[in-house]
Amino acid sequence: MSGGWRIPGRGAGIDRQRPLRFRFDGREMEGFAGDTLASALMAAGVRVVGRSFKYHRPRGVMTAGAEEPNALVEIIEGAQQTPNTRATVQELYAGLQARSQNRWPGLGFDALAVNDFLHPFLGAGFYYKTFMWPRQFWERVYEPIIRRAAGLGSLSGRTDEGAYEKAFAFCDLLVIGAGPAGLVAALRAGRAGADVIMAEADTQPGGRLLADLPEIGGQGARDWLAGVQAELAALPNVRVMTRTTVTGAYDGGTYGALERVGLHRADPGDLPRECFWRIVAKRAVMATGALERPIAHPGNDRPGVMLASAMPAYVNRWGVAPGRRVAIFGNNDSALATAQALTAAGVQIAAYIDPRPDVPALQDFPVYRGAQVVGTRGRMGLHTVQVRHADGVSEVPADALGLSGGWNPTLHLACHMNGRPEWDARIAAFVPRDGMVPGLTAAGAAAGGLSTAACLTDGARAAATALADLGLPVPEMTPPGAEDAPYGIAPFWAVDAGGRAWLDFANDVTTKDVAQAAREGFASVEHMKRYTTQGMAPDQGKNSNVAALAVLADATGQSIPDTGTTTFRPPFVPVSIAALGAGGRAKGFAPERRLTSDAQSRAMGAPMIEAGLWYRPSYFPRVGEATWREACDREVAMVRGAVGVCDVSTLGKIDVQGPDAGRYLDFLYTNRMSSLKPGRIRYGLMLREDGHVMDDGTCARLGEGHFLVTTTTAAAGQVMRHMDFVQQAFCADWAVRFASVTEHWAQFAVAGPRARDLLNTLLDQPVSADSLPFMACQPVTVAGVAGRLFRISFSGALGYEVAVPARYGAALFSRLVEGAEALGGGAYGMEALNVMRIEKGFITHAEIDGRVTAFDLGVQRMLSAAKDCIGKPASERPGLMDDARGQLVGLMSVDPADRIDAGAPLYAADAPARAENWQGHVTSAGYSPTLKGWLALGFLSNGRARHGEVLCIHDALRGRKLMARVCDPVFLDPEGRAMRG
Amino acid sequence: MRLTCPCCGPRDRREFTYYGHETFLHRPAPDAGGQAWDDYLHNRDNPAGPTRDLWYHDPCGTWLVVARDTVTHAVEGSEALA
């Protein structure tokens, strides 16, 4: 160990032939493949890895696992900056760049360390008391300052461009944790033929075996492990997932798990950074082991103080000595065993300190019985441990101190569905109860079995239970023998001596804070937690919650089980939002639906507008048109004067068939559809059962028992769900079936006085005004392709909609546009479509917004008196047929140049624009080149009786105020001559 | 959470759309009166324990009644309406 911190001949987890360069706070260092950032830093002699949350005290590596409270760093990869990364979990790779957190200007000298001297004023809840007045200072002054002073790492402030994945998996048995208990469970279930997933948070299976290297079945731990791994690998029904932490237990046997996929690679290539798994398991074995807890003694946070069990992990896995002279302070037999193991590995034990008076004193190292650590010295690194014993206080030189206050079973997952654990006095810890999560069994140390032999036996038992539940054969299995020393412990939580003794290192919570919380009335565990922030840091109090509970119990004079536990919630370890939401970003969140004419529309320069998930052309600009309005006005004029073509395939199309189809549609629509003759079309209104309008559309009868109904683009999904419900709930025995055919057909509106001329150039059999009258339909052959022709109009012009199978959509669109242009027309987009339907007073979901009734729309006559339909009884409730309700009206600005905007509120001409004077609102608006003025639709209280009245539209949001005249919502051609022509 | 679609088997709850209590299946007669219709449309219990509610399996279009427990989250079973 001369000079360096690596121990020759130790460290099976690292490859000394593969050195890796990395940087910490800009300093270049070297570690080995297999190192964690923590082991590499310790090997490089770095003792201070961060500053504490509140007091900015120097801190060192505390643990060798996911529970690390101190060694949190920022990892920098180009634009990516990941804060609060646990150095004990981050694997080393070539070129890794890490930065310490919560210090300024640097780790060695941190200006805010002044907080440490102010600590008498900064106890629990200090900011609730100190920064109360003046009130408005909290948000603007105090909070920003406190936020800067406290807190952990920082984000880059840029968008996370990293790749993340999500995945689903299914299995008979999920084994959580691949320590001795998990390995035996997976082996037994695997041999039985069960479909097994074993998830292990670490880089390799083994758990504590990798740190403690016990003998198993007469073999070395590594040899036994290699044998088990080989057998598992040979079983095709067993999947071992390493670097995968099970983060939560949810309903129905679903478990969340976070896999680190690319985070440990220098060049991840196309791999995602992380993958979030949802694993559905019929049964689960929770073999998550146990977490050691420290002891709260004065000065227990100095760099060099760590968990006793972390020390053999660093020695045996990574070949790193935790110190040159190591002291161990523990209250249980595993602490003594650790001291013995470290001695055997060549680490010098300066002292073993145990409050128990009866510890065997004859060891290869000095033993202090009935003793406690009452203080430490060494600001940037421990150098002295002060030990109080029967004969006084000794100053023991030591540069590392291992703490062991006992072990807490890692039972978090078992509590995720609101189960409460029970206190086991035998090991002075909480253990899971049976049935806390349905289908989940705890095994091994997670169930309170703290010897290797107990883990092996219990893993086999848990597998047998699960296999029996699954109805699978239970293969005979005799677990191998192993160390089975009894585990003695004398509960000991905090040293009673002057000075601050830390419980929660990550949030700087001391025993005094907990006692103070109790004194000030925050005596329930949930109150204490929130008042002191105990257990609320990224580590969620993994190794401090139980000790804090014990200190609280002591302060309130209760027992620990009576004090209770805090609630464990998912996730067990921090999960990035990006991983949880993987696949749900940008187009993954809202995929694009494209029309068959999409490519042509874009090639024509049309900007696209979103309609639900669909992308529809807004307008088709021509040379010389500077604004969208110029294009829109021209397109409207084209349709009114010649012919226009518009892709309307986005409308929902539902094919309804069967002898009872008409009867079914009568029940669904307000008006009667069964009386429709084949080859005819009717406009239909559909209500929700509560009497409000759900949707409108057309219903075409293609044959005796064959209808095609259309829905609006926006409501297609809702209408389909509604139709399924009505049919399955109320008329399941009727002979009717239906299916969505929206994507099967490309459909184009051809509108304008020359519409028929254009169509007849493409139809194999031309149509005339009489052969296909308004609101009729027929099968047609379009340039040799079988299609359908509907004589309907959403523009008010002479109009048709022609439909062909979707694969011919692009070709037909090209032919139609070409033909239209030859006739002085062309393609039109959504803007022109909207202006023309406003001119005609046709409604869209801007009007039928879910609060509107047929009465409001002025189409109460569409509710057939002769039959029942969905929504009819409720629509007749008195409040829904009140004249004071908003009624659909038209609005024209008094000065035609005055622009009207959708959403603007309506007031009486002379009334101030205040809420109590509100009379209605504008739903749609546009400039009509046909009528040379701004038109709008809207809802106005008692509007039908107020045609001719002049109102004030005062749009304070956009800063516009104008006068508008109320009129009938049909501005143009109220008799419908053009479309009937 | 997982629900069993009578048509497709056990599926993730993200495939389903929730509607409400099975009350919606018991549509009153058109002339049943205001109270009956208000009860049908709006008035619901908030049970702590067993309940039966309506879910739609979007991929296949099947409506189902799910028997479950609001306290334990246990799903007892599901059956298609039709």
* A848 close to A800: Cβ distance less than 8 angstroms: no
Residue whose token pair is 């009334």: A911
Q: What is the pLDDT of residue A578?
A: 93
Higher-confidence residue of A169 and A146: namely A169
Using alpha carbons, list the distances in angstroms from residue A592 to A107, A218, A538, A615, A727: 50, 62, 38, 7, 31
Q: Does B9 touch chain A (CB under 8 A)?
A: no
Q: In this predicted structure, what is the pLDDT of residue A1?
A: 40
Q: Please give the sequence-ordered ranges of beta strands (E in DSSP) within A335-391, or none if there are none.
A: 349-354, 367-369, 372-377, 384-389
Q: How far is CA A967 from CA A126, A891, A895, A946, A947, in A?
A: 66, 6, 15, 8, 5
> What residues of chain B, 41 to 60, have a C-beta less than 8 Å from chain A?
41-42, 54, 56, 58
Q: Is the pLDDT of residue A146 over 50?
A: yes
Q: CB neighbours of A137 closer than 8 A, spacing ≥ 6?
A: A131
Q: What is the dihedral of CA A309, A310, A314, A320, to 10 degrees?
A: -100
Two structure tokens written together for A252: 């129905």
Give the alpha-carbon dihedral of A178, A179, A181, A182, to 10 degrees: 0
- Cβ A253 vs Cβ B3: under 8 Å: no
Contact A299, A190 (CB under 8 A): no
Q: Is B79 on the interface with A (CB under 8 A)?
A: no
Condensed to tens digits (0 to 9), the pLDDT of residues A701-728 reads 999 999 999 999 999 999 999 999 999 9
CB-count exposure of residue A678 (10 Å: 0-12, 13-18, 19+) = middle
Chain B residues near residue A727 by CB distance under 8 angstroms: 82
Could you tell me the pLDDT band of residue A118, with boundaries at 50, 70 and 90?
Answer: confident
For A60-95, how does the pLDDT look when each residue is reduced to its tens digit (9 = 90+)? Answer: 999 999 999 999 999 998 778 899 999 999 999 999
- Tokens matching residue A978: 């053009």
Residue B27 at interface with chain A, using a CB cutoff of 8 Å: yes
Count of other CB atoms within 10 angstroms of residue A546: 26
Looking at residue A2, its pLDDT comes to 43
CB-nearest to B34 from A417, A690, A877 is A877
Distance CA A548, CA A546 (A): 5
Show which of residues 834-873 on chain A sit within 8 Å of chain B, judged by CB atoms.
868, 872-873
Cβ of B82 under 8 Å from any chain A Cβ?
A: yes
Residue A80 confidence (pLDDT): 83
| 3 state DSSP class of A780 | strand
3-state secondary structure of A859: coil
The helix-helix angle for A545-556 and A525-532 (nearest 10°) equals: 110
Mean pLDDT (chain A, rounded): 95
Q: What is the pLDDT of residues A904-951, one digit of tens each?
A: 999 999 999 999 999 999 999 999 999 999 999 999 999 999 999 999
pLDDT of amino acid A805:
98
Three-state SS annotation for A111-140: HHHHHHHCHHHCCCCHHHHHCCCCCCHHHH
**Within this chain, domains A1-156 and A164-291+409-470 share the same CATH topology:** no
Q: Is the pLDDT confidence value at A133 over 80?
A: no
Q: Is the pLDDT of residue A595 over 60?
A: yes
Interior angle at CA A717, CA A716 and CA A718, nearest 5: 95
Dist CA A812 CA A808 (whole Å):
6
Q: Which residues pair with B9 in a beta bridge?
A: B5
Mean pLDDT to the nearest integer, A28-41: 98
Burial of residue B33, with CB atoms counted within 10 A of its CB: 0-12 exposed, 13-18 middle, 19 or more buried? exposed
pLDDT digits (tens, 9 = 90+) for A460-470: 999 999 999 99
Residue A349 pairs with which residues in a beta bridge? A326
pLDDT over threshold 80, residue A128? no
Selecting from B12, B24, B37 the residue whose C-beta is nearest the C-beta of A874 gives B37
In 3D space, the residue among A246, A248, A588, A252 whose CA is nearest the CA of residue B13 turns out to be A252
Hey, what CATH topology would domain A652-741 get?
A: Alpha-Beta Plaits (3.30.70)
Q: Does A729 sit within 8 Å of B81, measured CB to CB?
A: yes
CB of A41 within 8 A of CB of A61? yes
Tell which residue, A232, A178, A180, has the closest CA to residue A201: A178
Model pLDDT for residues A426-447, shown as the tens digit of each residue: 999 999 999 999 999 999 999 9
Fold classification of A1-156 (topology level): Ubiquitin-like (UB roll) (3.10.20)
For A9-27, write each residue's pLDDT tens digit.
999 999 999 999 999 999 9
Each domain of chain A, given as residue ranges in start order, spans: 1-156, 164-291+409-470, 302-404, 492-558, 593-650+744-837, 652-741
| B32 interaction partners in chain A (CB closer than 8 Å) | 873
Q: What is the pLDDT of residue A3?
A: 57
**pLDDT for the residue A322:** 96
Interchain contact B63–A (C-beta under 8 A): yes
| Helix residue ranges per DSSP H, A606-713 | 628-641, 661-668
Tell me the percentage of chain A whose pLDDT exceeds 90. 89
Say yes or no to pLDDT of A148 above 90.
no
Exposure string of A693-703, with b = 16+ CB inside 10 Å and e = fewer, is bbbbbbbbbbe
Who among B1, B63, B80 is closest to A725 (CB)?
B63
A252: chain B residues, CB-CB within 8 Å:
1-2, 73, 75
Class of domain A492-558: mainly alpha
Looking at residue A27, what is its pLDDT? 96
Return the closest-CA partner of residue A544 out of A500, A497, A573, A510.
Answer: A510
Inter-residue contact A432 to A411 (CB < 8 Å): yes
Nearest to A207 by CA among A180, A174, A227: A180
pLDDT band at A132 (very low <50, low <70, confident <90, very high): low
- pLDDT, greater one: A150 or A585: A585
Q: How many A-B residue pairs are in contact by the CB < 8 A criterion?
A: 66
* CATH homologous superfamily for the domain A164-291+409-470: FAD/NAD(P)-binding domain (3.50.50.60)
CB contact under 8 A, A250 and B31: no
Distance from the Cα of B6 to chain A's closest Cα (Å) equals 13
Is the predicted pLDDT of residue A514 greater than 80, yes or no?
yes
Q: CB A357: neighbour CB atoms within 10 A?
A: 10
pLDDT tens sequence for chain B (82 residues): 899 999 999 999 999 999 999 999 999 999 999 999 999 999 999 999 999 999 999 999 999 999 999 999 999 999 999 8
Is the CB of residue A379 less than 8 Å from the CB of residue A365?
A: no
Domain B2-80 = CATH 3.30.2270.10: yes
Rounded distance, CA A202 to CA A945, Å?
75
Residue A130 confidence (pLDDT) above 80: no
Q: Do B80 and A417 touch (CB under 8 A)?
A: no
Band (A621; pLDDT cuts 50, 70, 90): very high
Nearest by CB to residue B81, choosing from A689, A690, A728, is A728
No. of helices (H) and no. of strands (E), chain B = 1, 6
pLDDT category at A977 given cuts 50, 70, 90 is very high
A365-417, pLDDT tens digit by residue? 999 999 999 999 999 999 999 999 999 999 999 999 999 999 999 999 999 99
Q: Are strands A950-955 and A905-908 parallel, antiparallel or unpaired?
A: antiparallel
CATH of domain A593-650+744-837: 3.30.1360.120
Q: Which chain A residues touch B43 with a CB distance below 8 Å?
A: none
- What CA–CA distance (Å, rounded) separates A852 from A880? 9
Residue with tokens 């987890």: A13
Pairing relation of β-strands A933-941 and A886-893?
A: antiparallel
pLDDT tens figures, A868-884: 999 999 999 989 999 99
Which residue out of A721, A733, A741 would a mutagenesis test of the B interface target, given it has the greatest number of B Cβ atoms within 10 Å? A721
pLDDT digits (tens, 9 = 90+) for A193-210: 999 999 999 999 999 999
Lowest average pLDDT, out of A118-132, A582-596, A940-954, goes to A118-132
Asked if residue A539 has pLDDT above 80, the reply is yes
Residue A506 pLDDT > 60, yes or no?
A: yes
Say yes or no to pLDDT of A149 above 70: no
Strands (E), A444-541: 502-504, 509-510
The three-class DSSP label of residue A847 is coil
pLDDT at A152: 72
Structure tokens at A325: 């002279």
A605 CB neighbour count, 10 Å cutoff: 13
- Exposed, middle or buried by CB within 10 Å (0-12, 13-18, 19+), for A663? middle
**CATH fit for domain A302-404, picks 3.50.50.60, 1.25.40.10, 3.20.20.80, 3.30.43.10:** 3.50.50.60
Which ranges of A471-534 would DSSP assign to H, the alpha helix?
A: 511-519, 525-532
Q: Alpha-carbon distance A428 to A430, whole Å?
A: 7
B27 contacts A728? CB cut-off 8 A: no
Q: Which residues of A960-981 are buried (b: 16+ CB within 10 A; e: fewer)?
A: eebebebbebebbbeeeebbee
Per-residue pLDDT reduced to its tens digit, A313-346:
999 999 999 999 999 999 999 999 999 999 999 9
Q: Is the pLDDT of residue A33 over 90?
A: yes
CB A898 within 8 A of CB A961: no
Mean pLDDT of A686-703: 97
Domain ranges in chain B?
2-80
More confident residue, A298 or A138: A298
Q: Which among A253, A721, A872 has the least Cβ separation from residue B56?
A: A721
Q: Supply the pLDDT for residue A160.
A: 83
| Contact yes or no for B61 and A874 at CB 8 A | no
Nearest chain B Cα distance for residue A211, angstroms: 38
Q: What pLDDT band is residue A151 in, cutting at 50, 70 and 90?
A: low
